[in-house]
């Protein structure tokens, strides 16, 4: 019997498991933290194997969670923003709420972990920001502040 090995099928479970969901989120966070550490170490060419090694997971696990290097980089922006405390828990409803949220965001930026700062300042961090905001990259493509 000849099998077609080019067909990818994704198995879905007939049930939901909170424990599996929590474990998947923990693994996802470990991988993203591994990416941040890899970027902060100044690795010129960040690779999936390097990130997997840093996160303590297998290479297929990285692909299972993110699909590709592009998917991994796409998730980086929200992960760094969340770790830095830049994602508000709720949107402001009044001017006072907005002022308070903005003040807290700047305080969080000032106290950001050095590893996160190094990752955000790297070329790969810039590439991830540009990919996350295509409209912004069109307006100021040559700017060093994107």
What is the C-alpha to C-alpha distance for residues 105 and 123, in angstroms, rounded to an integer? 24
Q: Which position has the token pair 């807290």?
A: 104
For residue 4, tell me if it sits in a domain. Answer: no
For residue 15, tell me if it sits in a domain. Answer: no
What is the C-alpha to C-alpha distance for residues 106 and 100, in angstroms, rounded to an integer? 10
**CB count in 10 Å sphere of residue 3:** 6
pLDDT of residue 8: 47
For residue 104, tell me if it sits in a domain. Answer: yes
For residue 108, tell me if it sits in a domain. Answer: yes
pLDDT, tens digit, 9 for 90 and up, residues 16-57: 888 988 998 899 999 998 888 888 766 566 789 989 998 999
For residue 16, tell me if it sits in a domain. Answer: no
Secondary structure class of 62 (helix, strand, coil): helix
For residue 144, tell me if it sits in a domain. Answer: no
Which pLDDT band holds residue 5 (cuts at 50, 70, 90)? Answer: very low
pLDDT, tens digit, 9 for 90 and up, residues 65-87: 999 888 888 888 778 777 776 67
b/e 11-46 (16+ beta carbons within 10 angstroms → b)? eeeeeeeeeeeeeeeebbebbbbbbbbbbbeeeeeb
Say if residue 137's pLDDT is above 60: no
- Structural domain of residue 108, as residue ranges? 22-139
CB distance 33 to 51 below 8 Å: no
For residue 3, tell me if it sits in a domain. Answer: no
Say if residue 1's pLDDT is above 80: no
- Of 144, 141, 121, nearest to 133 by C-alpha is 141
CATH of the domain at 99: 1.10.357.10
- Of 70, 109, 103, nearest to 86 by C-alpha is 109
> Domains in the chain: how many in total?
1
DSSP 8-state assignment for residue 57: S
Give me the chain's average pLDDT, please.
75
Predicted structure pTM score: 0.60
For residue 5, tell me if it sits in a domain. Answer: no
pLDDT of residue 79: 81
Which tokens sit at 125?
């961090």
């Amino acid at each position: 019997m000849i099998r077609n090995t080019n067909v990818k099928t994704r198995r879905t479970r007939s049930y939901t498991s909170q424990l599996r969901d929590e474990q998947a989120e923990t693994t996802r966070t470990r991988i993203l933290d591994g990416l941040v550490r890899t970027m902060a170490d100044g690795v010129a060419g960040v690779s999936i194997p390097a990130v997997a090694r840093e996160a303590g997971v297998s290479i297929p696990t990285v692909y299972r969670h993110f699909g590709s290097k592009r998917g991994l980089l796409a998730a980086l922006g929200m992960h760094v923003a969340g770790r830095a405390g830049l994602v508000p828990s709720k949107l402001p409803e009044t001017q006072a709420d907005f002022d308070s949220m903005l003040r807290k965001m700047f305080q969080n930026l000032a106290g950001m972990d050095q590893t996160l700062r190094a990752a955000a300042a790297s070329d790969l961090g810039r590439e991830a920001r540009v990919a996350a905001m295509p409209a912004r990259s069109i307006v100021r493509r040559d700017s060093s502040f994107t």
